[in-house]
């Protein structure tokens, strides 16, 4: 009888949340263009995090402990970087809308609120990565 790998649900939740966050990042910068510019850092760091967390999610406990820890920590650090760049790229619209509410286009407000939801999904992915890092069971 073939042995099946026990995959990690927590890591898959982190992967899915990061994918949703990346999609919302792209949507907020492409469909609703405003001062919310797209940069290369967020997609690159997200792809690195997705690759690292996907390895952890798929391999489960069959991955050696040291490599598993490296992939989890690397994925978490990449998510932190993606969150930081995402927030930094959305500071100008946030300042215009929330603190200097003069003449801003409606698309800018929509883009900012979509970005807020995207950042929330990135934070969910990071929290799930933290939970995965501190739990011994898969």
Is the backbone of residue 81 left (phi > 0), alpha (psi -120 to 50) or beta? alpha
Q: What's the half-sphere exposure (Cβ side, CA atoms, 13 Å) at 94?
A: 10
Residue 36 is predicted with a pLDDT of 61
Q: What percent of the chain has pLDDT over 90?
A: 44
What is the spatial distance between Cα 129 and Cα 14, in angstroms, rounded to a whole number?
6
- CB atoms inside a 10 Å sphere around CB 119: 19
Confidence tier at 103 by pLDDT (50, 70, 90): confident
Q: Are 11 and 132 in contact (CB under 8 A)?
A: yes
pLDDT digits (tens, 9 = 90+) for 11-42: 889 999 999 999 999 988 887 666 667 888 99
Residue 31 tokens read as 């469909």
Q: Residue 106 class from Cβ within 10 Å (0-12 exposed, 13-18 middle, 19+ buried)?
A: exposed
Q: Are 59 and 116 in contact (CB under 8 A)?
A: no
Q: Taking residues 1-8, what's their average pLDDT?
A: 54
Residue 46 tokens read as 């997200």
pLDDT digits (tens, 9 = 90+) for 60-96: 778 788 888 899 999 999 999 999 999 988 887 787 7
**Entry pTM:** 0.87
């Amino acid at each position: 009888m073939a042995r099946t790998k026990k995959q990690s649900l927590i890591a898959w939740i982190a992967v899915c949340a990061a994918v949703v966050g990346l999609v919302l990042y792209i949507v907020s910068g492409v469909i609703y263009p405003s001062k919310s510019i797209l940069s290369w850092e967020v997609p690159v760091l997200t792809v690195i995090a997705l690759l690292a967390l996907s390895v952890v999610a798929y391999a489960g406990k069959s991955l050696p402990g040291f490599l598993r820890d490296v992939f989890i920590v690397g994925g978490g650090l990449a998510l932190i970087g993606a969150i930081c760049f995402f927030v930094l790229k959305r500071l100008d619209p946030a300042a215009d809308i929330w603190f200097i509410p003069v003449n801003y286009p409606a698309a800018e407000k929509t883009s900012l609120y979509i970005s807020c939801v995207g950042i929330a999904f990135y934070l969910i992915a990071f929290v799930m990565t933290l939970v995965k890092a501190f739990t011994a069971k898969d």
